[in-house]
Amino acid sequence: MGWLFKKKEKKGKAKWFSIEKLKNGLEKTRNKLGSSFKDIFSLNKKIDESTIEELEASLIQSDMGVKPVDKIIQDIREAWKSKVIQDTDEIYTFLKNNLKQNLSKWNTKIKVSSVAPTVIMVAGVNGVGKTTSIAKLAYFFKSEGKKVMLAAADTFRAAAVEQLTMWSKKIGVDIVKHESGSDPGAVAFDALEASIAREMDYLIIDTAGRLHTHQNLMNELCKIKRVIQKRDEKAPHEVLLVLDSTTGQNAIAQAKLFSEAINITGIFLTKLDGTAKGGFVLGMHEEINIPVKFIGIGEKAEDIENFEPHRFVDAIFD
């Protein structure tokens, strides 16, 4: 089928796009930020209060969020008053380093269980690209030579099960599914039993993206979690939330809602190549203390990479 997998890649080794692909994917975001910063950084002049106020307005317009911008502006003002920076061109480097430092506080690596399989539960509302992201995760792990199984626990949407089945065949990974409308908890439990019996390295569980009410959705996610913990009390080892980058600050609001109900351990950002709102990622550490662990740029299975703060910031600012 033309799929090439690395069989002996080191455990936990980060995988990244070429820097050109990452920059191209973030072009809309970079252009938006660049147009905001152009007048501020175009001339090498002494910093004054009006410069900082202009920068603050530009950062807010970049979808970074009010709270993160307040923190950054406070840091810049302190650096200016203590004469660490004095000219406008120094703000640019200071800003980049500040953002890298904040985002680097996250642990962006997947938690791998000491006893296989590592169970990853994937949540997210309909339309964010959840099913495709699960396929990307499966491809990502299989390309490391790992055995991967999928659990089609979004039983409320027949299309979701069909789509996941299609991806499983395309990538060449096992899948456990029941009839449409079946109990999602039962699907997850059976998949965990099967993944243990077949000595899988990873089990990735799809979950419903929408029920009649927000509370029903959260209750269903909690139920799936309780059911699989009857078989493995430490599972799921990761709960990834898929967020659509094109929604900007609304993605932050979604993350806050989900984290109130279940312990979200990481975020998978999709559609970064289709948005000018990627600036919200730069302020996520101040908004929600949930690390971004994967990003997606493109629709193919291989269009996934580990999130690396320094590369991400450089791709936006350079």
Q: What is the pLDDT of residues 54-66, one digit of tens each?
A: 899 888 888 888 9
- Sheet strands side by side (includes 118-123): 174-176, 148-152, 202-206, 118-123, 238-244, 266-270, 292-296, 304-306
Quick count: other Cβ atoms within 10 Å of Cβ 206? 31
State the pLDDT at residue 302: 93
Q: What is the pLDDT of residues 90-100, one digit of tens each?
A: 998 999 999 99
Q: In the chain, pLDDT over 90 holds for what percent of residues? A: 69
Structurally, at CATH architecture level, domain 118-317 sits in 3-Layer(aba) Sandwich (3.40)
Which is more confidently placed, 2 or 161? Answer: 161
Q: What pLDDT does 42 receive? A: 66
- pLDDT value of position 47: 92
Query: pTM value?
Result: 0.91
pLDDT per residue as tens digits for the range 174-205 = 999 998 889 999 999 999 999 999 999 999 99
**For 1-48, how does the pLDDT look when each residue is reduced to its tens digit (9 = 90+)?**
333 333 333 444 566 777 888 898 999 998 888 777 777 776 678 999
**pLDDT, position 1:** 35
Provide the residue type at 174 as one letter. Answer: D
Q: What's residue 60's pLDDT?
A: 87
**What confidence tens digit (pLDDT) does each residue in 99-146 have?**
999 999 999 999 999 999 999 999 999 999 999 999 999 999 999 999
Over 50: is that where the pLDDT of 72 sits? yes
CATH topology of domain 19-103: Four Helix Bundle (Hemerythrin (Met), subunit A) (1.20.120)
Q: What mean pLDDT value characterizes the chain?
A: 90
Can you name the residues that pair with 31 across neighbouring β-strands?
none
Q: Please, what sign has the CA dihedral across residues 10, 13, 15, 20?
A: negative
What would the mean pLDDT of 268-295 be, rounded to a whole number? 93
Strands 304-306 and 292-296: antiparallel
* Token output for 80: 């200016």
Q: What is the CA radius of gyration of the chain?
A: 21
- Rounded-to-integer distance, Cα 284 and Cα 266, Å: 12
- The predicted structure's pLDDT at residue 195: 98
pLDDT, tens digit, 9 for 90 and up, residues 209-221: 887 678 888 899 9
- In the chain, domain spans: 19-103, 118-317
Q: Which residues pair with 238 in a beta bridge?
A: 120
Which among 201, 241, 225 has a CA at the least distance from the CA of 118?
A: 201
In degrees and rounded to multiples of 5, residue 148 shows phi and psi of: -125, 140
- The pLDDT tens digits of the residues spanning 240-268 come to 999 999 999 999 999 998 998 889 999 99
* Structure confidence at residue 181 (pLDDT): 87
Q: Which residue has the tokens 């990452």?
A: 22
